[in-house]
Amino acid sequence: MALDAPNDRPRLMIRLGHPSRLTPETREVTLLVLGHMVVFFLSLAHDEIVAELVSDGWMIASLAERFEILIGLVLFVCWSALLLRLVTVMQRAKSAVVLDLQDTE
């Protein structure tokens, strides 16, 4: 499609914003994006978290490396689950737009 060609397709109605004024899908996308950010920042700091646990005496120093790997694995699984849910929500929203487009024809 050329850049100057008219685009008659309706836009997806998913956007970030204030939760009380948004559709349920948009609230879900907002929460999923926030979840991605939390997991991302935890993955940046998980080695420092383990180091603090060892220095405070909550964990044995010889198990620190294994625990760090375990935290990384759990964060990876959380990231994957959030991503799969985000893809599902976006596909559902896209199919709703396609159904609306077919109803108008």
pLDDT tens readout for residues 17-30 = 665 566 777 788 88
What length does the chain have?
105
**Predicted pLDDT at 33:** 92
d(CA 70, CA 41): 16
In the chain, domain spans: 25-97
Do 22 and 30 form a contact (C-beta atoms < 8 A)? Answer: yes
pLDDT tens readout for residues 56-99 = 999 899 999 999 999 999 999 999 999 999 999 888 877 766 65
**Which structure tokens are listed for 42?**
């935890």
**Predicted pLDDT at 40:** 96
**Which structure tokens are listed for 28?**
């879900």
Tell me the pTM.
0.70
For the segment 30-47, the average pLDDT, to the nearest whole number, is: 93
**Which structure tokens are listed for 13?**
């109605």
Nearest CA among 98, 78, 1 for reference residue 38: 78
